[in-house]
Structure 1
Amino acid sequence: MRSRTALTVTALSATALLLTACTSAGEPKTIRVTVTQTVPATQEAAASPNTRALKMGTKKTLDDSTNDTHFTAQVTEYQQPPKGPQPEAPTDLGGDIWATVNVKVCNLRGATFTVGQTAWSLEYDDGTSVESTGLSGGDMPKPEYPMDRAVKPGRCAAGLISYPVDSKKRPARVTYAPESGESAEWAVPST
């Protein structure tokens, strides 16, 4: 994404302005005046605070040396609302529609570890976040990301995690923050 910066130039030049005055001894005295210019960012530039967020689809290699786990995490898609049949509206859970995140975690080497939905959340630019409800089964979108499944070295776990969201807002990023080890973020496209 390209960002543009809007510049506004007033009657004064952005370069330093030199004024000459006379001292009481009659010798000229030079006064230097520096003009400071406020440069407002365009809306496009202001809307991208996700400088450390990865592009959707990017695999991130993560290590948790304390637990001898070495794995990749990936977010392949965000849908709001998800395609296909819609579960009952999540009005009792703080949203008016469902959104889904398609994620994948692969154990590269080391110890077997357990994956679940609680490490994944949606983050908004206003500082709010939406955690996974942990709901599964029934009419939730399929295939679902597992809720406590062991992943052996060389194996992966993948699927959809559902979130109750406000249909008028869109998250800025999907965050993966396990209890220990590194975390990662993926930018959610604006549409």
Structure 2
Amino acid sequence: MHDAPSAPENPGGTMHIRTAALAGSLVIIAAATGCSGGDAKPAPTVTVTKSTTAKPSTDDSQATDGVLEMGTKKNIDDDANDVHLTVQAFEYQQPYKGPQPQKPADFQGGDIWATISIKVCNISGPNINVSPTPWSLAYEDGTSIEATGLSGGDMPKPEFPMDKPVKAGRCAAGLVAYPVPSSKRPERIVYAPDGTDPIEWAVAKS
């Protein structure tokens, strides 16, 4: 799952709107009911699909060639769907300094575990769902390492939540673990959910 607005509750109204992210597009489903009384017929269910791109703010003075310094907070505003977020990468650890999980499996492509510390805040608008999935590590040679989707057990704590709804005014924070090669370090941390321009933070060389 990617970070996406989830459905707000509206038990007493005549219109219920749900917003979800799907393959780079935002799908809005509105179910309208007819007014009571008379011979009025219920209005039909209407489904509208439109493509939108949420754009990060461009007023950040700490960006160099579009890459932010570690710890910099970035705004994301999708006015079309009233979604307003901040995202932040705080720290990269290689190897992870806490108790090491079981050594990565051979198929995962790394021999040690590294972590990023991240935070996503829902500033205003509908609920959003957060997940480690949009976060990855990018290397100078063009390769990248995606989040494994592993959780629980002896994975580094506190873990960034998986598919957690976050209300307006609330945040989600924690660690995401990656199986990385000990012989090299990533160049950037990348946040790139569907429908959003990638945001990057620079990783120190040592």
Q: With structure 1 as the length reference, what TM-score do the two structures score?
A: 0.72
Query: Which stretches in structure 1 are left out of the alignment for 5+ residues?
Result: 1-49
Alignment of 1:104-143 (within 5 A): 104-143=119-158
The one-letter code of the counterpart of 1:88 is Q
Residue deviations 1:133-158 (CA, integer Å, cap 9, x gap) = 01011111100000100111000000
1:59 is aligned to 73
**Matched residues in 2 for 1:161 and 1:125: separation?**
21
Q: Give the conservation status (yes or no) of the 8 Å contact 1:62–1:183.
A: no
Aligned equivalent of 1:183: 198
Q: Map 1:1-191 onto structure 2 (within 5 A).
A: 51-92=65-106, 93-191=108-206
Distance across 1 between alignment mates of 2:92 and 2:156? 13
Q: 1:70 to 1:182 in 2, by over 3 A?
A: farther
Could you say what the CA RMSD is over the residues aligned between the two structures, in angstroms? 1.2
- CA shift at 1:182, angstroms? 3.5
How far has the Cα of 1:66 moved from its partner? 4.2
CA–CA distance in structure 2, aligned partners of residues 52 and 140 of structure 1? 32
Alignment partners' CA distance in 1, 2:182 and 2:65: 25
CA distance in 2, matches of 1:66, 1:91: 43
Query: Which position in structure 2 is the counterpart of 1:3?
Result: none
Larger radius of gyration: 1
Runs of 4+ in 1 over 2 A off after TM superposition: 64-68
Q: Output the CA distance in 2 between the equivalents of 1:159 and 1:52.
A: 24
Identity fraction in percent: 61
For structure 2, the residue ranges without an aligned partner over 5 or more in a row are 1-63
**Conserved in 2, the CA contact under 8 Å of 1:96 and 1:166?**
yes
Instruction: Measure how far apart 1:91 and its partner are.
Output: 3.2
Q: 1: CA distance between counterparts of 2:197 and 2:122?
A: 14
Alignment: residue pair count: 142
C-alpha deviation, 1:51, in angstroms: 2.2
Map Cα deviations across residues 144-176 of structure 1 (whole Å, 9 max, x no partner): 000100111000000000001000010000000
Structure 2 counterpart of 1:105, one-letter code: V
More strand by share: 2
- State the Cα distance separating 1:69 from its structure 2 match: 1.2
Give the TM-score, by structure 2 length.
0.67
Shift of 1:63: 1.6
Give distance in 2, aligned partners of 1:84 and 1:181.
32
Offset from partner CA, 1:42-77 (integer Å, 9 cap, x none): xxxxxxxx6211000000011233432111000000
| Alignment partners' CA distance in 2, 1:85 and 1:146 | 19
Helix, strand or coil for the counterpart of 2:162?
coil
